[in-house]
Amino acid sequence: MTSDIRPDSQETRDASWKLRVYLLGALIGLAVGLISAYFYARVSEENGFERPNRIPTMDALKLAVSLLSVIRQITDLGAKRGS
């Protein structure tokens, strides 16, 4: 009896590249997050704060809008073909 699922099927290749994209995105996100946290803590410490101040709501919203803009640009990269 032969199986209808072959290891080199289209479905397996689709899952393979998606997994690589997800893992790369997760690693980049982790690295950017850690570097950002490090610099935030370092600057707070250099300014003489024992603990970092709370981030004001408006600054958090500005940061969120900026992050959404970056996500939108990344999405646009995935939509481009042949350029």
Q: What is the pTM of this model?
A: 0.69
pLDDT 10s digits, 27-52: 999 999 999 999 999 999 999 888 88
pLDDT 10s digits, 46-74: 998 888 888 899 999 999 999 999 999 99
To the nearest whole number, what is the mean pLDDT of the chain? 86
Return the closest-CA partner of residue 41 out of 28, 30, 57, 55.
Answer: 55
- d(CA 65, CA 73) in angstroms, rounded, equals 12
Give the confidence band of 23 by pLDDT, cuts at 50, 70, 90: very high
**Regarding predicted confidence, which is higher, 59 or 5?**
59
